[in-house]
Amino acid sequence: MDVKVLSSRENKVMGRKELEFVVVSESSPRSDEVRAELCKSNGISPELMVVVRIDSQYGSRTSRGIAHAYETKEALMRFESKHILKRLGLIEAGASKGEKAKAPKPGKHEAAKDEKPKEAGDKA
């Protein structure tokens, strides 16, 4: 697997470097492998590097992607999306306060099943 950084942009407000890269490999690259290669080639600590996305090119051995290299762990925890932090194992994958499971409400047909059918002589 060959990883080349196409561009590197410093984002001082968020305390990170934003890397755009290309990967040439026989199969679709895994984000943890790409992360290790980027860390090794750029001298960045693996716990401060996040691979945000990798897009494989159809019919080609190349993939393009975006990675963020943070200056501190606090900046990483503050600015990265929750689903990316879950993927990296930095936060638990359990439900948060707003994600409580709710029982489905019965629809018209389910409510009608519970009622007895009315006979012609019955009053309402």
* CA dihedral for 44, 48, 53, 59, sign (positive or negative): positive
Residue 109 lies in a domain: no
Instruction: Supply angle C-alpha 103, 87, 80, rounded to 5.
Output: 100
Nearest to 45 by CA among 66, 18, 73, 74: 73
The model's pTM: 0.71
**Number of folded domains in the chain?**
1
Residue 100 lies in a domain: no
Average pLDDT of span 65-86: 94
Average pLDDT of span 109-122: 59
Task: Kindly state the DSSP code that residue 97 receives in the 8-state scheme.
Answer: G
pLDDT value of residue 121: 65
Strands (E), the chain: 2-11, 16-24, 49-56, 62-70
| Tens-place pLDDT, residues 15-68 | 999 999 999 999 889 999 999 999 999 899 999 999 999 999 888 999 999 999
Residue 89 lies in a domain: yes
Residue 84 lies in a domain: yes
Domain range holding 74? 2-93
How far is Cα 106 from Cα 104, in angstroms, rounded to an integer? 6
Residue 124 lies in a domain: no
**pLDDT score of 69 more than 90:** yes
Residue 61 lies in a domain: yes
Average pLDDT of span 7-12: 96
Average pLDDT of span 95-110: 50
Residue 28 lies in a domain: yes
CATH code of the domain containing 13: 3.30.70.330
Residue 102 lies in a domain: no
